[in-house]
C-alpha cells in the first residue's frame, strides 16, 4: 500500500530535549515536505526536499533541522524544543510533474 | 507568490452539489491551482489540480475562469463524509516543492 508513515504519532517532551520525528514514504517520490498545523494559523511549511541531499526552507524553518540522506526518509529534528513548537506535524511526499502530495497521519507534539 | 481567498465556511445538504469558490487574482501564468481537503485532524488529502482547463476526476470537478483569477471546486453529490476543511492552493512557480496553504473553507454537509 502506498503510504507515508510518521513516528511517533504522539510525543510529550520537555524543553531542550532533542527529538527526531521520522517520516518515510514507499512511493519512490522525489519531493518531501514537513508542515506544522496550529489552531488559527493553518498548515505552514517548515522544510522541503526536492531530492536526496537537496533541502530548502519553507515558511517557518526556525528551530528545526532536516536531512535527506535516503530518498524514502525525511526526518525532522528539533535540537532544542521549546513550548512554541507544540503543534501537529505532517510529513508529505510527491513527485513531478503533478506534484500531488501524499500526507502522513500526523505527529502531535507537546513540549512542556 | 499568489495568495488565495476562500470563504471561511459553508453548509451543504447531503446529496446536493457543493460549489466551493476560490479567488486567486494574482496568479501568474505558470502557477497551478490545487485543491486538498482535511477531515478533522487527519493528514490532508489531494483532490484535484489544474492550470487553465477544467478538470474532473472521481472525486470532484475543477472549474477555472478564463482569466484564471478564480476557480470553483464542485463536489457533485455531497455526502456526510465530505465534511472537511477544503484548501485551495496556488503552487509557487519557481519551486516545485513549496506549497502555501491558506485558511481553507470549513464545509459541513448536513443530512
Q: Which of B75, B85, B7 is nearest to B39 (CA)?
A: B85
Residue B30 pLDDT: 84
The minimum CA-CA distance between A79 and chain B, rounded to whole Å, is 24
pLDDT tens, B36-48?
999 988 999 999 9
Terminal Cα-to-Cα distance of chain B (whole angstroms): 39
Q: What is the pLDDT along chain A (112 residues), one digit of tens a residue?
A: 989 999 999 999 999 999 999 999 999 999 999 999 998 888 999 999 999 999 999 999 999 999 999 999 999 999 999 999 999 999 999 887 777 899 999 999 999 9
> B24 exposed, middle or buried (CB, 10 Å; 0-12, 13-18, 19+)?
buried
pLDDT for B53 equals 87
A 41-70 residues with CB below 8 A of B? Answer: 42-45, 48-50, 56, 58-59
Nearest CA in chain A to B105: A42
Chain B residues whose CB is inside 8 A of the A37 CB are 41
What the block records as the C-alpha cell of B41 is: 485532524
pLDDT of B94-109, one tens digit each?
556 677 888 899 999 9
pLDDT in tens, B16-75: 999 999 999 999 888 889 999 999 889 999 999 999 989 999 999 999 999 999 999 999
Residue B14, C-beta contacts closer than 8 angstroms, at least 6 positions apart: B78, B79, B80, B109, B110, B111
Sorted by sequence, the CB contacts under 8 Å of residue B71 that are 6+ apart come out as B21, B22, B24, B33, B50, B62, B63, B64, B65, B88
Query: Closest approach of chain A CAs to the CA of B7, in angstroms?
Result: 14
Cβ proximity of A76 and A91 under 8 Å: yes
Q: Which residue do the cell numbers 531542550 mark?
A: A16
Output the pLDDT for position A40: 82
Q: What is the pLDDT, as a whole number, of residue B92?
A: 66
Nearest residue to A3 (alpha-carbon basis) of A89, A106, A93, A90: A93
Amino acid at each position: 500500500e502506498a503510504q507515508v508513515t510518521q513516528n511517533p504519532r504522539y510525543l510529550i517532551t520537555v524543553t531542550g530535549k532533542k527529538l527526531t520525528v521520522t517520516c518515510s514514504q514507499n512511493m519512490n517520490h522525489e519531493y518531501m515536505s514537513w508542515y506544522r498545523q496550529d489552531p488559527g494559523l493553518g498548515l505552514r511549511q517548515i522544510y522541503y526536499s526536492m531530492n536526496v541531499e537537496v533541502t530548502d526552507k519553507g515558511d517557518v524553518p526556525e528551530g528545526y533541522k532536516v536531512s535527506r540522506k535516503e530518498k524514502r526518509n525525511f526526518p525532522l529534528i528539533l535540537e532544542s524544543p521549546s513550548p512554541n513548537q507544540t503543534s501537529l506535524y505532517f510529513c508529505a511526499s510527491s513527485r513531478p510533474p503533478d506534484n500531488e502530495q501524499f500526507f502522513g497521519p500526523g505527529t502531535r507534539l507537546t513540549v512542556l | 507568490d499568489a495568495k488565495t481567498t476562500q470563504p471561511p465556511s459553508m453548509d451543504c445538504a447531503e446529496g446536493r452539489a457543493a460549489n466551493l469558490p476560490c479567488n486567486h487574482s494574482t496568479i501568474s501564468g505558470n502557477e497551478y491551482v490545487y485543491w486538498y481537503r482535511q477531515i478533522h485532524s487527519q493528514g490532508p488529502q489531494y483532490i484535484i489540480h489544474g492550470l487553465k482547463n477544467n478538470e474532473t476526476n472521481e472525486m470532484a470537478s475543477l472549474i477555472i475562469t478564463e482569466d484564471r483569477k478564480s476557480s470553483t471546486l464542485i463536489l457533485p453529490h455531497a455526502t456526510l463524509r465530505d465534511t472537511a476543511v477544503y484548501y485551495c492552493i496556488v503552487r509557487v512557480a519557481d519551486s516545485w516543492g513549496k506549497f502555501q496553504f491558506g485558511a481553507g473553507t470549513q464545509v459541513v454537509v448536513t443530512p
